[in-house]
Chains A and B, each alone.
Chain A
Amino acid sequence: MNNEIKPFTVSVYTENSIGLLNRISAIFQRRHINIESINTSVSEIPGVSRFTILVEVTEEQIKKIIGQIEKQVEVIKAYYHTDEQTIYQESCMIKIKSSVLLENQKVQNLIKDNGARIVTANKEFFVIEKSGRKSEIDQLYRDLSHYGIMQFVRSGRIAITKDEMKITEMLSAFYQ
Chain B
Amino acid sequence: MHTQTLKKEKSESVKSERITGSEAIIRCLLAEGVNTLYGYPGGAIMPVYDELYKYQDKIHHVLTRHEQGAVHAAQGFARISGKVGVAMATSGPGATNLVTGIADAQIDSTPVVCITGQVASHLLGSDAFQETDIVGISTPVTKWNHQITKASEIPEVFAKAFYIAKSGRPGPVLIDITKDAQFEEFDFEYQKCTGVRSYKPYPKVDEKSLKEAAELINKAKKPMVVWGQGVILGKAEEEFKAFIEKAGLPSAWTILGASAIPNSHPLNVGMVGMHGNYAPNLLTNQCDVLIAIGMRFDDRVTGNLQTYAKQAKIIHFEIDPAEVNKNVMVDTPVLGDVKVTLSEIMPMLNENSHDGWRAEFQRLYDIEFKKIIEHDLYPTKDGLTMGEVLKEVNLQTRGMAAIVSDVGQHQMIACRYANFNVSKSNITSGGLGTMGFALPAAIGAKMGAPEREVVAIIGDGGYQMTIQELGTIFQTKVPVKILVLNNEFLGMVRQWQQLFFDKRYASTEMINPDFVTIAKGYHIPAQKVTKREDLTAAVKEMIECEGPYFLEVAVEKEDNVFPMIPSGASVSDIRLE
Contact = CB atoms under 8 A, between A and B. Distances in A.
Interface stretch (B134-142, B414-422, B475-483, B485-493): B134-142
A30 B321 CA distance: 19
B126 interface: no
Nearest to A77: B198
A153 interface: no
A71 B169 CA distance: 10
B140 A26 contact: yes
Given A15-B2, A16-B2, A30-B140, A64 B326 contact: yes
Contact of B195 (A19, A63, A70, A174): A174
Contacts of B197: 15, 76, 171, 174
B496 interface: no
Given A64-B326, A67-B326, A73-B144, A23 B139 contact: yes
A15 B6 CA distance: 11
A174 B6 CA distance: 9
B321 A73 contact: no
Contacts of A23: 139-140
Contacts, number: 54
Contact of A73 (B7, B136, B143, B322): B143
B307 interface: no
Contact of B7 (A68, A71, A174): A174
Contacts of A18: 147
B145 interface: yes
A10 interface: no
B548 to A, nearest CB: 39
Nearest to B5: A15
Interface string A109-136: 0000000000000000000000000000
Interface residues of A, number: 23
Interface string A63-99: 1100110110111100000000000000000000000
A73 B164 contact: yes
B139 A67 contact: no
A47 B322 contact: no
B198 A76 contact: yes
B140 A15 contact: no
Contacts of B164: 73
Interface in B489-506: none
B196 interface: yes
Interface in A1-32: 14-19, 22-23, 26, 30
Contacts of A16: 2
Contact of A63 (B4, B146, B199, B325): B325
B173 to A, nearest CB: 9
A73 B198 contact: yes
B320 interface: yes
B198 A67 contact: no
Given A14-B198, A18-B147, A19-B135, A47 B4 contact: yes
A67 to B, nearest CB: 4
A64 B135 CA distance: 25
Contacts of B140: 23, 26, 30
Nearest to A63: B325
Nearest to B163: A73
A71 B318 CA distance: 13
A57 to B, nearest CB: 15
A137 to B, nearest CB: 33
Nearest to B145: A19
Nearest to B199: A73
Contacts of B325: 63-64
Contacts of A67: 321-322, 324, 326
A74 B2 contact: no
A29 to B, nearest CB: 9
Contacts of A75: 198
Contact of A26 (B139, B145, B195, B320): B139
A94 B542 CA distance: 78
Given A64-B326, A67-B322, A70-B322, A19 B139 contact: yes
Contacts of B7: 174
A18 B164 CA distance: 17
Contacts of B195: 174
A74 B197 CA distance: 8
A171 B140 CA distance: 26
Interface string B322-344: 10111000000000000000000
Nearest to A30: B140
A15 B4 contact: no
A74 B199 contact: yes
A174 B5 CA distance: 9
Interface string B23-56: 0000000000000000000000000000000000
Interface of A: 14-19, 22-23, 26, 30, 47, 63-64, 67-68, 70-71, 73-76, 171, 174
The 7 A-B pairs of least Cβ separation, nearest first, read A67-B322, A76-B198, A73-B144, A71-B322, A73-B199, A174-B197, A74-B198
13 contacts: A16-B2, A19-B139, A26-B140, A47-B4, A47-B5, A67-B322, A70-B322, A71-B321, A73-B144, A74-B199, A76-B198, A174-B7, A174-B197
Given A23-B140, A67-B326, A68-B322, 11 more contacts: A15-B197, A17-B1, A18-B147, A19-B139, A19-B145, A26-B139, A70-B322, A73-B143, A73-B198, A74-B144, A76-B198
